[in-house]
Amino acid sequence: MNEEVITAIAKQAFWQILNTPEGEAKLIRAIVKSLGLEKKTEQKTEWVDKDEAARLLGFNSYRRLNYLIEKGAFTHGIHYRDVRAPGAAKAYYQYHVENIEKLFNKPPEKRKQAR
């Protein structure tokens, strides 16, 4: 196959994907992400669950957030909160991404330990 045929096939496939609601939504998300607008629009929700917080902060896993709680880096009610049901043994944390980013924007030596 020559380059022109491959290009024509690729264009046709692109337009077929784009002409679906899912394809259009994916394209819009990709454009928003490439422009760096993704975090700004998503941070309007103050408290998010562990997976969303990890994703927004660029961590591979929420475990890093739990580690920072255990080490006293975060302040309860400012950086995280526990929304478990009364009597539940296991903590269910939500995180305030904007406040965590403010903390991370300070040099480590200037961050106060929460405990």
Cα–Cα distance, 39 to 52 (Å, whole number): 11
Please give the backbone phi and psi of residue 83, each rounded to the nearest 5 degrees, phi first.
Answer: -110, 30
pTM of the model: 0.58
Cα–Cα distance, 15 to 3 (Å, whole number): 18
Tell the CATH topology of 42-110. Answer: Multidrug-efflux Transporter Regulator; Chain: A; Domain 2 (1.10.1660)
pLDDT tens digit at each of 115 positions of the chain? 788 877 877 777 777 776 776 777 777 777 777 777 765 544 456 899 999 999 999 999 999 999 999 999 999 999 999 999 999 999 999 999 999 999 999 998 888 776 5
Residue 76 CA to its chain's centroid (Å) = 20
Break the chain into its structural domains and give their ranges: 3-35, 42-110
Question: Can you tell me whether residue 82 is helix, strand or coil?
Answer: strand
What letters, b where the CB count within 10 A reaches 16 and e where it falls short, cover 87-105?
Answer: eeeeeebbbbbebbeebee
Amino acid letter, residue 10: A
Supply the pLDDT for residue 38: 65
Supply the pLDDT for residue 43: 44
